[in-house]
Amino acid sequence: EAGVAQSPRYKIIEKRQSVAFWCNPISGHATLYWYQQILGQGPKLLIQFQNNGVVDDSQLPKDRFSAERLKGVDSTLKIQPAKLEDSAVYLCASSLMGGGGSYSYNEQFFGPGTRLTVL
C-alpha cells in the first residue's frame, strides 16, 4: 500500500515569512498527526485529527501555527510568521483509528517529513 506522502521535502525561508506543509495519509486512515522534530530530539506531537475534527492541539503554538483537515483526508500545516526556532523536521503520521475507550493499540505510519530551515 502507498505510504504517507508529504511535500515539500525541504523548505528554506527567511524569518517572518509564511510556509505551508502538505500531508496525504494512508487511504482509509481516520487519524492524522503532525509532529515537530528538532535536531537531536524525539518528535513532539503538535496536533492530532480524528477524521476532520481536532482531538489534541495542546502543544500547537496557536499564535503562529495552524492546521486543517477539511475533508477528513489530506491536511496542511501552516506557520505564519516563522521564527528561527521553528527550524525542524515536520512529520506527518496516520493511523486507522485513534484509540479511545480501550487499551487497544493502533500503529502510526509516518511520512518522510519536511525539513524546514528558517534563516
Partner 1 sequence: DAKTTQPPSMDCAEGRAANLPCNHSTISGNEYVYWYRQIHSQGPQYIIHGLKNNETNEMASLIITEDRKSSTLILPHATLRDTAVYYCIDPANAGGTSYGKLTFGQGTILTVHP
Q: State which residue, 4 or 88, has the beta carbon closest to partner 1.
A: 4
Interaction site with partner 1 (CB under 8 A): 4, 31, 33, 40-45, 48, 50, 55-56, 91, 93, 95, 97-113
Q: Cα-atom radius of gyration of the chain, to the nearest Å?
A: 14
Q: State which residue, 14 or 105, has the beta carbon closest to partner 1.
A: 105
For residue 8, the minimal CB distance to partner 1 (Å) is 15
CA 18 vs CA 12, 44, 59, 67, 93: distances in Å: 11, 21, 20, 13, 23
For residue 98, the minimal CB distance to partner 1 (Å) is 4
Identify the DSSP state of 84. G
Q: State which residue, 24 or 31, has the beta carbon closest to partner 1.
A: 31
For residue 14, the minimal CB distance to partner 1 (Å) is 24
